Amino acid sequence: MSISKVSLTLLVAVAFALTGCATAVTPQTAGSAPAALYTDVQYSNQAMNNEVGSQEGEACMSRILIFTTGGGEDTLQNAVEDAGVSEIGSVSNSYTNILGLYEQGCVIVTGN
């Protein structure tokens, strides 16, 4: 591979990392540019007719650049299994992004 092809490949990789194209879009960040340095948001999606409950479960997925780390899946089903609940009281989410290089999204469930 020639030097120019290596330079172009590196330039494209850096452009993807810096533009945030590999970041998640949350209801709070939709329609806005991702924060350049640091983002840490927590928001509630749903409250059920059940009481909130004393048990809490969390399912997270982390990424460094475009590579998933930790093998987790941030799904509602995984959060329910982690909490060990049969009745969901509330569902919320958290999202962290540092420099567009690291991000973590979590689903948090409470219930009984």
**Per-chain mean pLDDT for the chain:** 76
pLDDT at 57: 92
Question: What local confidence, expressed as pLDDT, does residue 108 receive?
Answer: 92
Q: The whole model's pTM is what?
A: 0.63
Q: Mark the ranges of the chain whose per-residue pLDDT is less than 70.
A: 1-3, 6, 10-36, 70-72
Q: How many domains is the chain built from?
A: 1
Token digits for 44? 């509630």
pLDDT at 28: 46
Range(s) of the domain holding residue 10: 3-111
Three-class HEC string of the chain: CCHHHHHHHHHHHHHHHHHCCCCCCCCCCCCCCCCCCEEEEEEEEEECCCCCCCEEEEEEEEEECCEEECCCCCCHHHHHHHHCCCCEEEEEEEEEEECCCEEEEEEEEEEC
> In the prediction, which pLDDT does 24 show?
52
